């Protein structure tokens, strides 16, 4: 499988934060199939360690596989569902989206659509203006239910997880449109690099731990289980696009600062030097409302040099888009970094 094959598989595997066992089992199985030993942490993350030429100093490179999602907040008298959101996004970004309800009681999955209660302009005077919030948004189930009792008879209850239809599309012009490119693009890149390193017998200069985390969207991801020899920590996540941002869909975005503060200056400059040396198109950027696995590790007290880079993602935390050029630039950037010497000091 190549990077895009992995990406399509990952985006089509539901994994809202808190409901990630299936995708983490897939990752563990896929890595084992490549010939590595993958270890699952108590929190459900997956780590694979590659012995390097120098085993005294280690690196960690991460990507997260948990996504935005929701849970059943309440069952309404008419049988429809209220939601409680998982992750940092707004209700307007999921209006009209198809979804799955994953039932804990019986293991069944039901389909539905996320809509405003006041959807029909032919019935509701405020259909266009009512606030998109927890009170007004609901899930219309694709089942013959007209009461709370009928919905409960399906097994649906408060706390059942809700995942969103990714609608993954790869266009002839090289664009990839999908929900959850944050951060399944990066996970696909790391999987493909593991595959290439195994097939080509590549020994990295330092022992390197590939850490696939499953709690990043709620603020604590790969912030534990770090071996004491780890000196450098690279989070591979998304580059955020918008007003005042340099990041685009055709380059790798190197973050200089996010909501947690600046990233390690010398390590950031090392990445810039590598990009220029290897003619990798890149942009430097600040993500003002953003955190990463690396910033979570810093908050947890990790004594490491930390950095963050990723493919440029348009419309982050909505129906996202990137381009194959950005994915290729990001994969090359991660590859040359992992094969480079460590930063001094």
Q: Which residues are annotated as a binding site?
A: 64, 182, 217, 237, 317
Annotated binding site for Zn(2+): 64, 182, 217, 237, 317
Question: What is the end-to-end Cα distance of the chain in Å, rounded?
Answer: 39
Q: How far apart, in whole angstroms, are the C-alpha atoms of residue 199 and residue 34?
A: 9
For β-strands 206-213 and 54-64, DSSP reports them as parallel
Q: What angle do CA 214, 220, 224 make, to 5 degrees?
A: 85
Give phi and psi for 273, each to the nearest 5. Answer: -60, -40
From 216, 232, 314, 320, active-site residue: 216
CA torsion angle 224 230 235 236 (round to 10): -120
Residue 30 near residue 191, CB atoms below 8 Å: yes
Burial 38-50 (b: 16+ CB within 10 A, else e): bebbebbbbbbbb
Catalytic (active site) residue 216: yes
Alpha-carbon dihedral sign for residues 11, 9, 330, 190: positive
Residues with catalytic roles: 216
């Amino acid at each position: 499988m190549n990077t895009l094959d992995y990406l399509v598989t990952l985006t089509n595997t539901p994994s809202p934060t808190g409901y990630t066992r299936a995708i983490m089992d897939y990752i563990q199985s896929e890595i084992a199939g490549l010939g590595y030993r993958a270890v699952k942490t108590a929190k459900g993350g997956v780590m694979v360690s590659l012995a390097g030429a120098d085993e005294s100093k280690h690196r960690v490179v991460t990507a997260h596989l948990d996504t935005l999602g929701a849970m059943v907040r309440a069952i309404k008298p008419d049988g429809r569902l209220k939601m409680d959101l998982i992750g940092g996004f707004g209700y307007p970004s999921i209006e009209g989206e198809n979804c799955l309800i994953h039932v804990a009681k019986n293991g069944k999955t039901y389909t539905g659509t996320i809509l405003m209660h006041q959807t029909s302009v032919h019935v509701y005077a405020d259909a266009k203006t009512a606030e998109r919030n927890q009170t007004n948004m609901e899930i219309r189930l694709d089942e013959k239910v007209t009461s709370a009792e009928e919905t409960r008879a399906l097994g649906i209850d408060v706390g059942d997880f809700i995942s969103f239809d990714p609608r993954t599309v790869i266009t002839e012009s090289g664009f990839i449109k999908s929900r959850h490119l944050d951060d399944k693009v990066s996970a696909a890149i790391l999987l493909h690099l593991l595959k290439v390193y195994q097939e080509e017998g590549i020994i990295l200069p330092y022992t390197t731990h590939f850490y696939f985390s499953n709690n990043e969207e709620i603020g604590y991801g790969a912030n534990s289980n770090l071996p004491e020899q780890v000196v450098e920590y690279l989070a591979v996540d998304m580059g955020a696009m918008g007003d005042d941002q340099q990041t685009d869909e055709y380059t790798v975005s190197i973050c200089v600062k996010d909501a947690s503060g600046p990233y390690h200056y010398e390590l950031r400059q090392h990445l810039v030097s590598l990009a220029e040396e290897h003619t990798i198109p890149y942009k430097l950027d600040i993500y003002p409302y953003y955190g990463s696995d690396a910033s979570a590790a810093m908050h947890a007290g990790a004594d490491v040099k930390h950095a963050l880079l990723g493919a440029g993602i348009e419309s982050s935390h909505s129906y996202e888009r990137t381009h194959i050029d950005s994915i290729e630039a990001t994969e090359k950037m991660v590859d040359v970094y992992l094969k480079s010497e460590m930063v001094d000091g």
